[in-house]
Amino acid sequence: MLRNQEFNKLLLTMSGISLLSILLVSYFSVQAAVIVTITNLLLIAVTVVYTNWRYRDIDRLSSYLRQISSGDFTLDVRDNREGELSILKNEIYKVTLKLSEHSDLLQKDKIKLTNAISDISHQLKTPITSMVVMSDLLNDARLTEDKRSEFNRNIRVQLERIEWLVASLLKLSKIDAGTIQFKKDKVLVKDLIQKAVHPLLIPIDIKEQTLELEGNETVSFVGDLNWTSEALINIIKNCLEHTPNKGTIRIHFSENSLFTEVVIKDNGKGIAKEDLPYIFKRFYKGKNANEESVGIGLAMAHSIITSQNGTIQVDSMSGQGTTFQLKFYKQII
């Protein structure tokens, strides 16, 4: 405390004023000078004691901040009293809570990143291993032309699968990071569905499936046509893959004052009850999933829809088909 130049200046100033006041009063009365001297000494002593108490409090705050900087966010410095230091303590505590929350989020992000890297390496391991084996077999001079062509086709299929997986993961990472700015245009649901269904018409035709659309042409919502189309493609693709030949996929759309709704329903093999809570989880594969399924399409659809003030729910039972219910809520001003 005595090393503080500001405090030393304060003591010198108070001592000077006290000495001057004593000298002035002593001209009039010795008794008055004694009283003034005692009073000044008491005031200086109180100032020293009070300043020392504040210094101890500030020292505790400094220790608290050092603990925070070392990663300890469990301390509570609040004293619930009035005063400048109490206000400062409360503000420091608020900052501590925010730092604790950010620390937790960073830790969760690290865990997510670790899990994502593990999942990606697992997903890439199978096709890469398959391509390495087929590449070695292609070096065999005794290999027939038919087998050589078959291996080349398989390698191409695996490369396309890896390309799709990497592209999907990049899209998901952009959505998670919040770097994608979703447009807020008026989207006609009929145009949205036509855009989403177009790349799936050939596999639907091959399986001789029926696609039924029902809804008013004026139904719309505010969102991003291209990204929402990406979500619908993954949902409809999931339906057609799990619907048998000559099955039916129905898409119904409508709107009210609160939201625009799109319902996609199939009469396929459905989803097991125990799988329902996890179907939007990344890389999750249910019991009825295809062998080639990666478990990323529905996760992407969920991220896209929820990022646009929407919700997605699923209702299904094994052997009785699946229903996806999408709602895009309207802005309320």
pLDDT in tens, 118-151: 666 766 776 788 788 888 888 888 888 888 888 8
Task: List pLDDT tens digits, range 265-303.
Answer: 998 888 888 888 888 887 776 666 655 566 778 888 998
- Does 113 reside within a domain? no
Residue 12: give the domain boundaries: 5-100
Tell me: the pLDDT tens digits for 74-87?
A: 666 666 666 666 77
Q: Answer yes or no: is 106 within a domain.
A: no
pLDDT digits (tens, 9 = 90+) for 238-253: 899 889 899 999 999 9
Higher pLDDT, 300 or 57: 300
* Mean pLDDT for all residues in the chain: 81
Q: Are 151 and 131 in contact (CB under 8 A)?
A: no
Per-residue pLDDT at 157 = 79
- Which pLDDT score, from 0 to 100, does residue 149 have? 87
Same domain, 198 and 291: yes
What is the domain-level CATH number for residue 160? 1.10.287
Number of domains in the chain: 3
Mark whether 88 and 145 lie in a shared domain. no
Of 177, 198, 225, which residue constitutes the final position of a domain?
Answer: 177
**Average pLDDT in the 31-52 region?**
82
pLDDT of residue 160: 79
Give mean pLDDT, residues 301-314: 91
Do 249 and 322 sit in the same domain of this protein? Answer: yes
- Predicted pLDDT at 220: 93
Q: Phi-psi category of 118—alpha, beta or left, where left has phi over 0 and alpha has psi -120 to 50?
A: alpha
* Share of residues in the chain with pLDDT > 70 (%): 86
- Residue 333 has a pLDDT of 41
Contact of 328 with 221, CB cutoff 8 Å: yes
In a domain, 109, yes or no: no
Among the three residues 49, 72, 100, which one is the final residue of a domain in this structure?
100
The string of pLDDT tens digits covering residues 60-76 is 777 777 777 777 766 66
Question: Is 49 buried (19+), middle (13-18) or exposed (0-12) by CB count in 10 A?
Answer: exposed
Residue 207 φ/ψ, nearest 5 degrees:
-90, 5
Quote the pLDDT of residue 325.
95
Q: Would 38 be classed as within a structural domain? A: yes
- Name the least confident of 17-26, 257-266, 289-298: 289-298
Per-residue pLDDT at 81: 65
Better pLDDT: 262 or 167: 262
Residues in a beta bridge with 253: 215, 262
Asked whether the beta carbons of 315 and 323 are under 8 A apart, the reply is yes
pLDDT tens, residue by residue, 216-231: 999 999 999 999 998 9
Pairwise pLDDT comparison (323 vs 141), residue with the higher score: 323
pLDDT at 323 (0 to 100): 93
> Residues 48, 79: one domain?
yes
Model confidence at 255, pLDDT cuts 50, 70, 90, reads very high
35 and 65 in a single domain? The answer is: yes
